[in-house]
Chain A
Amino acid sequence: MTGCGGCRECTPKKQSGTTIKNVDYTIALAGNANVGKSVTFNQLTGVDQIIGNWPGKTVERAEGLLQYKGKRIRVIDLPGIYSFSTYSMEELVSRDFIALERPDAVVNVIDASALERNLFFTIQLFELAPPLLISVNQIDLAEKKGITIDTEKLAELLGVAVIPTVAIKGKGISTLTDAILDLAQRRPTPPVLRYGKEIEERIEKLVPVLSQLTLPYPVRFVAIKLIERDPAMVTIVKEQAPDIVSTADRLAAEIEAIHGETVCVVMSAERYNVADRIAAEVIKVRPPKDGMHKKSLTDRLDQVALHPFFGYLAVLLVIGGLLVWTFVVGARISDLIQSFLSQIEPYEPIITGPVAGILWNGAFSGLVAGVTLVIPYVLPFYLLLAVMEDSGYLTRIAVMLDRGMHKLGLHGKAVIPLILGYGCNVPACFSCRIMESPKQKLLAAFLVTLIPCTARTVVVLGLVGKFVSIWWALALYAFDIVLIIIVGRIAFKVVPGESVGLIMEMPDYHVPSASVVVKQTWARTKSLIWFVFPAYIVGSALIQVFYAVGLLTPVNNLLAPVTVFWLGLPVIVGITLIFGIVRKELTILTLAVLFGSTNFAAFLTPVQLIVIALVSMLYIPCISVILVLASEFGWKRSLAISFTEVVLAIGIGGIAFRLLGLFIG
C-alpha cells in the first residue's frame, strides 16, 4: 500500500490529459507495489512531476521529466500491479499503455527480496515484448536477509539488461539512466520466454492464423490472452475472425482438461514455473550472519503490532494519538492564521451594502475557512498518516481491524478511507477505490461520509467541547462510531453486490521515504484544493447573497416544524443548518453572527448545543462530498446517501433532544 503505486486517491477527471510536451523519448516504470518504484521514479525525475489521471480513467498517472545527455525523456510511473490477468483498471491501463502507446523503453523495477513473485510479472511484460530492462532494487535489504542475486546471470538468462539498484540511496541510478537512454535509442525486442510444452504447442497453433490479422497488440501476446479467454482480446479478434476465438476456446478447454483447473490458474502456475527456474539459478541464499534463529526487526515489531491485546492497544493509541495531536496543535495554528487573515479583510459575514461587496466578503470568508482548515488540520494529519502508511504500519492496522470490518461488509483495507475521513471526507471518498468490489467501494464511501471530518470536529469541539464539556464531545464521537457500525451493518445487508475478502501483501517495516510521504500527502491534499476550495468559495459567496436578499426569515419559518418542534432548537438555527451544507463549520460562524456573540451558552441550553452538534455531524456530508460521490458513483447514489443522512440526522437529533432532556436541564 505504500508509495504511489498503491495509492489511487487522485485528482478529478478534468485534470487528465496534461502531459509533458516536446520530449525525445517516453519510458515507463512498471512493477509490483512496494518495490521502490516510486522512489526510483523520484530519483530519475526529481521535482518536475505531473500527477494526473489516465485519460478518462480514475487511475493515477504520474509523469516526470528526465533530462540526460541533452535528451528530454518523459517518464511514466505505471500503477503497481502483480499481473495482467485480473482485469482491474490499473492492469488494463498499464497493459494498454505498454502495448498501444509503445513507450521507447519499459523499466521493470523488481524487489530483490521477492524475486520469484516479481519475475512472475516480468514474464508477463515479456509477453507484451516492449524494449525492456530490469532494475533489481533494494539489493541492500536482500543482502541483509542473506539473499544475493547474480544480476549478470539474470541478464544472460532473460536476454535483457539488468541493473542492480538501491534507489532510496541513489545507488545504481546513473547506470540505470545510461541503460535507459541506450535502450530507448535502440528499441530492441526482448527474447521470447517459453512455457511448458502443452502450452507452447497451443500458442503456436494460434500464432500463424493471428499473424494474418491486423492487431494492435503483439501476436504472441494475443494468442496467450485468447487462450486465457481475456474478454478484451476476444472482442478484438472476434470482429475479424470469430473462428480463431472458438479454436482458442477449444485449446483452453483442452488445457483445463489436462490440469483440472481454470486456464488462467494454469497459466499463472506456468509463469511461476519459469520464474522459479530462473530464480533458482540466480539466487544464492546464505544464513544471516547473526544466526538463523534471530528474528528480523519486522518479526519483532509484529509481535507487538499483531498481538491480540497489545496490537489493539497500539491501534487505539496510534489513531487516537494522531487525532488528538492534530486537533490540539491544529487549533493553535488555525487561530494564528485566522487572526492574521482577519487583519487583511474582515471575514465575518456582511449582509448589507453593494452586492459586489457581499459576494467578495462571502468568497473571501470561504477562502479563509479553507485555509484555516487545510493548513493546520488536514495537512499535518495526512502527513503523519502517510508516514505511517509508508512505514508499513497501516497494513498491520488493516489486519487487526479486518474482522470488525467484515461485519460491515468491508475488509481491513477499508481502514484507510475511514481514517482519512477524519481529515476530510473528499480524499477519503476517492481512496475508496482501493476496495475491490463495487459494493465495497460504495459501502466504504457511505461510511466515510459519517466520519466527522476536521470541519465537523470544529463544530463539535466549538459548541459542545467548549460550552458543555469535553466528555460530552467525546461521547458524541463514541456515539458516531457506534452509529457507523449499526448503519454499516444495515447498509451491508441492503446494498446488493458481493463482498470480497482481504488479500494483501505484508511489507517489511522500513524508515519512510520523505519523497514518497510528501507525494502521497500532496496527492490527497490536492483533491481538497480542486474540490473543496471552489465549493467553499462559490458556496459561501452565494449564501451571503441568499442572506442579503432576505430569505432568512422565510427559510427559518419553513424549517420551524423540524427545528423548533422536533429538534427543540430556536427558530433562528434553521438557516445555519442550511449553510452547513456548504461548509460544516459555517454552522458555528453563522450562529455567532446571528446571536452577535460567541458565548453560545448564553443563548442555547446544553441540550440544544449537543443537538446542533449532533445534527451537524450527521446530516449530509457537504457540497464537496456530494459532488465527489456523484463523480464516483453517479448522482442517484450520491443523493440517496445525502437523503438517508438527513433523515438519520434529524431522526436521531429529535430523539437525542427528548432523551437528553431527562438527564441534563
Chain B
Amino acid sequence: MAQEQVEEYLEAIYDIAGTEGSAKTTAIAKCLKVAPASVTEALQSLAEKNLVNYEPYRGASLTGEGKKIAETIKRRHRLLEVFLADVLHINRAKVHDEACRMEHSISEDTENALCRMLNAPERCPHGSPIAPCGKGVGSCSECEVITGAALPDPKELRTGTIVPITDLTAQQNGTIAFIRGDCKVVQRLSDLGLTLGTTVSVTRRAPMNGPVEVFVRRTKLAIDHAIAEKIFVDVRKGGEA
C-alpha cells in the first residue's frame, strides 16, 4: 500500500468514527468511493501495520499510531485550505480538493512554517477546527525558537497588533481586520455592520465567557463569545476610545 493510500484510509476512518469510535467497512467504501472488498483488504493490511484495530463485520478503529497520522494529515489539510483561501485567494469551493492532493506531500517543516505564517489559525475556511501542533508552545514566537525558524511576515495583517475582539480592553478601539468562521455567520455579522475596517469597541462582557457586547456603528450587539473570538481587530489603527 502506498503511503498516500494509507493516509487516505486513516483520514476516512477518522472522519467517520472520530478518535474513539469504529467505522464500518461500507461507510469507508462510500467515503473513499471504492469497492467494499478492497476496503476489507486494505484494513487487514493496515491492521498488520498496527495502524487500525480491525475485526471483520465490526468495523475498524484507529490505534494510537493511526490516530496520530490521521490527525497530522487533517491538520495539514486544513492549514493548506486556509493558505489557499486566505493567501492565494483560490476560490473557496476548490480549496478542499486542492488541499486533498497536497496534504500527503508536504513535510513537517512546511506544516510548521504554514502554521506560523498563518498565525496558528483556529479553523479551516469551512469552519472545522485545526488541532494545535502538539509541540506545547504557547505562541508562534515560541515555536520559532524551538524549530529555529524565522517568523515570516508576508502580510501586513500579521504585525502583532491584530488581536481577537475579545482581547480588547475597555479603553481600546480597534478596526476589524478579518473575520473567520462559518460563511453564514460572517455574512450576518457584516450585515449588522461588522465590515472590514469598521471601528469597534467592547462595551461589556458577560461573566464566564458569556456573550460580548460590541459597540459598532452607534449600536450594541451581543455576540457569542466563540464567534467574537474569530473577529480579529487591528488595535493600532483604532487608538483610544
Q: Kindly provide the distance from the CB of A110 to the nearest chain B CB, expressed in whole angstroms.
A: 12
A306 vs B206: C-alpha distance in the bound complex, in angstroms? 7
Contact assessment for B192 and A503 in the assembled complex, using a CB-CB cutoff below 8 Å: yes
In the complex, chain A residues 257-299 whose Cβ is within 8 Å of any chain B Cβ: 257, 260-262, 264-265, 268-269, 272
Contact assessment for A402 and B210 in the assembled complex, using a CB-CB cutoff below 8 Å: yes
Q: Kindly provide the distance from the CB of A279 to the nearest chain B CB, expressed in whole angstroms.
A: 9
Max chain A Cβ within 10 angstroms of own Cβ: one of B196, B197, B211: B211
In the complex, chain A residues 173-205 whose Cβ is within 8 Å of any chain B Cβ: none
Max chain A Cβ within 10 angstroms of own Cβ: one of B86, B182, B191, B209: B191
**Does B189 have its Cβ within 8 Å of any Cβ on chain A?**
yes
User: A-B contact count, CB below 8 Å?
Assistant: 125
**Does B50 have its Cβ within 8 Å of any Cβ on chain A?**
no
**Does A504 have its Cβ within 8 Å of any Cβ on chain B?**
yes
A120 vs B206: C-alpha distance in the bound complex, in angstroms? 28
A395 vs B213: C-alpha distance in the bound complex, in angstroms? 12
Closest to B226 in A: A501
Contact assessment for B89 and A501 in the assembled complex, using a CB-CB cutoff below 8 Å: no
Chain A residues, Cβ within 8 Å of B191: 82-83, 85-86, 120, 268
Contact assessment for B91 and A400 in the assembled complex, using a CB-CB cutoff below 8 Å: no
Interface residues on B, range: 35 or more
**Does B47 have its Cβ within 8 Å of any Cβ on chain A?**
no
Q: Kindly provide the distance from the CB of A439 to the nearest chain B CB, expressed in whole angstroms.
A: 14
A261 vs B177: C-alpha distance in the bound complex, in angstroms? 12
Contact among B193, B196, B207, B209 for A120, CB-based, below 8 A: B193
**Contacts known (A502-B222, A502-B224); A264 close to B187, Cβ less than 8 A:** yes
A605 vs B184: C-alpha distance in the bound complex, in angstroms? 56
A622 vs B95: C-alpha distance in the bound complex, in angstroms? 50
Q: Kindly provide the distance from the CB of B58 to the nearest chain A CB, expressed in whole angstroms.
A: 22
Chain A residues, Cβ within 8 Å of B198: 272
Chain A residues, Cβ within 8 Å of B209: 403
Contact assessment for B219 and A265 in the assembled complex, using a CB-CB cutoff below 8 Å: no
A117 vs B188: C-alpha distance in the bound complex, in angstroms? 12
In the complex, chain B residues 211-225 whose Cβ is within 8 Å of any chain A Cβ: 211, 213, 217-225
Contact assessment for A395 and B89 in the assembled complex, using a CB-CB cutoff below 8 Å: no
Per-position binary interface string of chain A over residues 348-360, scored 1 when its CB falls under 8 Å from any chain B CB and 0 otherwise: 0000000000000
Q: Kindly provide the distance from the CB of A58 to the nearest chain B CB, expressed in whole angstroms.
A: 20
Chain B residues, Cβ within 8 Å of A253: 91
Closest to B224 in A: A501
Contact assessment for A399 and B211 in the assembled complex, using a CB-CB cutoff below 8 Å: yes
**Does A59 have its Cβ within 8 Å of any Cβ on chain B?**
no
**Does A441 have its Cβ within 8 Å of any Cβ on chain B?**
no
Chain B residues, Cβ within 8 Å of A411: 224
Contact assessment for B188 and A302 in the assembled complex, using a CB-CB cutoff below 8 Å: no
Per-position binary interface string of chain A over residues 59-94, scored 1 when its CB falls under 8 Å from any chain B CB and 0 otherwise: 000000000000000000000001101100000000
Chain B residues, Cβ within 8 Å of A504: 211, 221-223
Chain A residues, Cβ within 8 Å of B182: 500
**Does A645 have its Cβ within 8 Å of any Cβ on chain B?**
no
Q: Kindly provide the distance from the CB of B182 to the nearest chain A CB, expressed in whole angstroms.
A: 8
Interface residues on A, range: 35 or more
A269 vs B185: C-alpha distance in the bound complex, in angstroms? 15
Q: Kindly provide the distance from the CB of A182 to the nearest chain B CB, expressed in whole angstroms.
A: 31
Q: Kindly provide the distance from the CB of A142 to the nearest chain B CB, expressed in whole angstroms.
A: 9
Chain A residues, Cβ within 8 Å of B211: 399, 402, 412, 502, 504
**Does B120 have its Cβ within 8 Å of any Cβ on chain A?**
no
Contact assessment for B224 and A402 in the assembled complex, using a CB-CB cutoff below 8 Å: yes
Contact assessment for B227 and A501 in the assembled complex, using a CB-CB cutoff below 8 Å: yes
A403 vs B189: C-alpha distance in the bound complex, in angstroms? 20
**Does A630 have its Cβ within 8 Å of any Cβ on chain B?**
no
**Contacts known (A256-B89, A260-B86, A395-B222); A500 close to B210, Cβ less than 8 A:** no
Contact assessment for B204 and A503 in the assembled complex, using a CB-CB cutoff below 8 Å: no
A306 vs B185: C-alpha distance in the bound complex, in angstroms? 25
**Does B208 have its Cβ within 8 Å of any Cβ on chain A?**
yes
Per-position binary interface string of chain A over residues 521-560, scored 1 when its CB falls under 8 Å from any chain B CB and 0 otherwise: 0000000000000000000000000000000000000000
A82 vs B220: C-alpha distance in the bound complex, in angstroms? 14
**Contacts known (A120-B193, A265-B190); A403 close to B208, Cβ less than 8 A:** yes
A259 vs B225: C-alpha distance in the bound complex, in angstroms? 27
A403 vs B185: C-alpha distance in the bound complex, in angstroms? 18
Contact among B183, B196, B197, B224 for A503, CB-based, below 8 A: B224
Closest 8 CB pairs of A and B: A501-B224, A308-B207, A268-B190, A269-B195, A83-B191, A506-B220, A502-B224, A116-B217
A-B contact pairs, 5 of them (CB 8 A): A262-B183, A306-B213, A399-B213, A504-B222, A504-B223
A residues lining the B interface (CB < 8 Å) = 82-83, 85-86, 113-117, 120, 147, 253, 256-257, 260-262, 264-265, 268-269, 272, 302, 306, 308, 311, 395, 398-400, 402-403, 406, 411-412, 500-506
